[in-house]
Structure formats: structure tokens, C-alpha cells
Structure 1
Amino acid sequence: MTHSRRSVLAAGATGTLALTAGCLDFVLGNGPLQFNSDRAAPTDGALEETGYQKQKVREKDLDRTINLPGGIERDVSASIWASAYTKEVEYAGQKRDGAAFAAVSIPGMKVAGRSVNPIDDLSNKKLLERFMSQIETDQGAIRDIKHESTFKLGILGDGRTVDTFVGKSEVEGQTIDIEIKLTSFDHEGDLLVLLGLYPKMLTEESANVEVLMESVEHPVEG
């Protein structure tokens, strides 16, 4: 064996030992297992085309305790990216932030071959309920949300299933229909959730949300 080959093997062994040590700390309860996601977001060009403005971009830590075989409890920490955008639209006689879009990225969390991602088994309706909190608009709470249709959209190099929901909200004492589009899928080791909402009467916003979805990049560079 040459000296260079010994060096390569030694470097590989060091990396393996470092990884093993990290997992061992987790198994022994000496520290949490950390998962990190990469941010997803629509392109600047799509935002300019559709008239949406950045509202909030943040990275949030999710900490939870999982049960391992043998009744062992261990801590898991995950970083989640949420990028939210809004658009001022005119309806009910006023201009307000009435349309919104969000891109959320959650790391694929697997321990001992099983997922510990808290939303892996959620239906799209449950996902919708979970991630509505990522968007802040002037239209208040949305209730009576029902599924309306399903279609395919090309996002990040593949055809993704998008679900359309319709709910109701109160604006200036008037009940209006709110349309919501949502898709979720795995990409580059993360679970992405893309969501757009707008007054159903503003049909052009349906197309705008699809433009934003189709433009999404992941991971976002810079």
C-alpha cells in the first residue's frame, strides 16, 4: 500500500469516526440529533412579474423528543425555512394585503431508517391547517375549507400534484370565498410545502400563484 493510499484511508476513517461519534452521542443521550434544511423560494423575476413583495423570511428551530426501540427517548432538532410573500389587491372596496404565498422547507428527518418528520403522514388538508400560520394577511381567519380540485404543475423538474381548496372569510362584514393552492413534495433531501391564497373572485391571482410555484428554486443560492 502506498503512502498516499494510506493517507486517503486514514482521512476516510477519521470522517467515519466523527460521524459515528455524533450518532453515538445521540444514542447515549449526550446531545440532540440535528437536521438542517435548505431554503426554497420563488425567483425575483417571478415576484416582480406577479407583484408579490417579500413579507418575512426566517429560519426556525423545531425541537422534539422521539422514542427509539427499547423505550429510549432522545431529542431531535431541525431547522425549518419559511419564506412568505404578500400582494396588495383591491376587493370589498378597499386595497389590502389580500393575496399571499409561502414556501416552507423541512429537512427529511430519518433515524434508524424511519422518518421522525412530524408532518410526513399529514394529509394536504392537515398540512394546510398547519401552514396557514406562516401567512399573515388582512383577511382574518379562513373557515369551512373544502377540497375543490387537483391538477399537475411542473415544479423543480417534475410534475407535482397541486390541490385547490376553497374556504370562507369575513371582510368588512361581507363573506367572501378564499381559494388556496397547496403542493408538497420531497426535493434534495427536504420536504417542501408551497401554498398560495387569494380571494376567489380575483381569477388572475390563480395564475400568479402558479407562476410563483413553477419558479421556485431549492436550494436558494446566497
Structure 2
Amino acid sequence: MTEESPGRSRRSVLAAGATAATVGLAGCAGLAGDLSFESGSATVTAQARSEAGYQEAGVTAIPFSRQVSLGPIRRTVEVTNLLAEYDRSVGLDSGGLTDGLGIPTDARAAVFAAFTTPAVDIFGRTLNPVANLSTDELANLIQQHYGGFRNLATDAELSGTLLGQSTGVTRYTAEADLLTTAVVSTDVPIYLYVGTPVRAGEDFVLTVAAHPRAAGPREGTMRTLLEGVEHAAGSA
């Protein structure tokens, strides 16, 4: 979890695992010519953002390129994923919730992200492995690729609706670093929410969210944001 840090933005924790999952696209190696895939977008509606008290923090294209080989044959696979990020102030200034944590009372420490990645359908096969990853596997990938949080443990299995489909969401506990322009806080207890990927047209959409545990469980807020995600297909 980060805040206003150009070197280590929020997308480090929210997208690292999902982007890393696309390494399985090496299965495309037997095809002729280089391959390029670009995802559509998954964003949260203005109404859902307003109800949850979140604001848009940015929509970012995340390119991924890998050269794969099968014997003497080499191919380049290029995938462009899209990450939409949202955040809000968690209002931890009452009741001594931030005592000893060093968290600014106005820190936008609650984050939600919708990550879109191409399914990569070729000859009737879906080659993007994200569809087969469990929430535990996705959470572990995030932890492995981002050094800013640790001590991940499953807390609860939740359910919600994403793009009209019922989906599972696993809530984890962890400790994270919160970085701002004014302060660096370490070992901040957080909840991390990782959603099961959902197929949307030519893409898979998955969601990740996090907020300090001091704010209490926010299942209703997470479901509001989840249900507010809408998908737009990419260009052909």
C-alpha cells in the first residue's frame, strides 16, 4: 500500500501478481509470427464511487512482453493489461486508531483496483493462466512480487457480484508499508481483498482492494465497488 510515492505506487501491490501470472503465455510459442493482445477496460461507475466515497486515482496501461521459444523457433508475445485504481481517506483520526502507527489522518490509505487482462483465445484454447489461479495463488503472487507487505493470512471467504456474475472474494490480513510524501509507516495492519477472476468478453477481470484494519471490515463498501465495475471491450 502506497500513497503519493513516484517510486513505489499503489499499482506495485495491486497489479504485480496479476501481471506476473501472464508468464504462462509461453504456450503461444508454436504459432507463426509475433502475437499482440490488448485488453478492454474495467472501471467503477461514478454512482458506485460516490456511494463508497472513493475517487479515481488513475487508469494505467500495463504492457507485458515475453520472448518465447520452441526449439529454433522464437516468438514475441506482447500483452497490454489495464489497471483502474481508486482510493479514499479512511478517517482514522478518531478513537486513537492511528496512535503509534504514524499514519496521517488524511491519508488516502484505502484502495480498490480493477485489473483487466486479455484471455488470449487461440484455436479454441484460452492461454492466459489467470483464469485458473485461485485467490490464494494470486495473493501469494502479489506478496512475492511486492516487498511492501508481509504475514499474509486468510481471514474470511466472502461473495459478491462482478459484471453480473457471482464471484468469490477472499479477505486476508497482512502488515504493510504505507508511504506518503510526509511519513513512512511500517507494519500497518491491513485487510487485503482478492477477487476470483471473471470472464468478460475477450478479457478476464479481477479486483484487488486493501485498507487498514483499524477502519474495521468494510464488506459493504467492497461489494458496492465490486458491483459497480463495468467492462468495455477493447479495440479490435
Range class of TM-score, shorter chain:
0.7 to 0.9
| Alpha-carbon distance change, 85 to 129 in structure 1, aligned in 2, over 3 angstroms | farther
2:160 aligned to 133, 153, 158, which one? 153
Quick one: which amino acid aligns to residue 74 of structure 2?
Answer: E
TM-score by length of 1: 0.72
2:206 aligned to 193, 202, 209, which one? 193
Higher relative contact order (CA 8 A, sep 6+): 2
Mapping of 1:54-133 within 5 angstroms? 54-67=56-69, 72-91=73-92, 92=98, 94-117=105-128, 119-130=130-141
Q: Deviations over 1:126-167 (max 9, x none)?
A: 42355579x9xxxx9221111122122122122111111111
Q: Distance in 2 between matches of 1:132 and 1:54?
A: 24
Q: Distance in 2 between matches of 1:206 and 1:34?
A: 37
Equivalent in the alignment of 1:20:
none
Q: Distance in 1 between matches of 2:45 and 2:37?
A: 25
Q: Deviations over 1:63-105 (max 9, x none)?
A: 112345x663311111211001111123215221110000000
| Alpha-carbon distance change, 200 to 150 in structure 1, aligned in 2, over 3 angstroms | same
Matched, 1:39 2:51: no
Equivalent in the alignment of 2:5:
none
Quick one: which amino acid aligns to residue 148 of structure 1?
Answer: D
Gaps of 5+ in 2: 1-29, 93-97, 100-104, 179-183
Equivalent in the alignment of 1:16:
none
Q: 2:192, 2:209 within 8 Å by CA — same for their partners in 1? A: yes
What is the aligned residue count? 189
Matched, 1:214 2:221: no
Equivalent in the alignment of 2:17:
none
| Alpha-carbon distance change, 75 to 209 in structure 1, aligned in 2, over 3 angstroms | same
- For the residue of structure 2 that corresponds to 1:54, the secondary structure is strand
| Alpha-carbon distance change, 123 to 65 in structure 1, aligned in 2, over 3 angstroms | farther
| Alpha-carbon distance change, 129 to 149 in structure 1, aligned in 2, over 3 angstroms | same
- For the residue of structure 2 that corresponds to 1:97, the secondary structure is coil
TM-score by length of 2: 0.68
CA RMSD of aligned residues (A): 3.1
Identity among equivalent positions (%) equals: 24
Shift of 1:43: 0.7
Quick one: which amino acid aligns to residue 153 of structure 1?
Answer: G
Shift of 1:213: 0.6
Q: 2:143, 2:150 within 8 Å by CA — same for their partners in 1? A: no
Q: Distance in 2 between matches of 1:47 and 1:36?
A: 26
Q: 1:99, 1:205 within 8 Å by CA — same for their partners in 2? A: no
| Alpha-carbon distance change, 173 to 105 in structure 1, aligned in 2, over 3 angstroms | closer
- For the residue of structure 1 that corresponds to 2:231, the secondary structure is coil
Shift of 1:218: 0.8
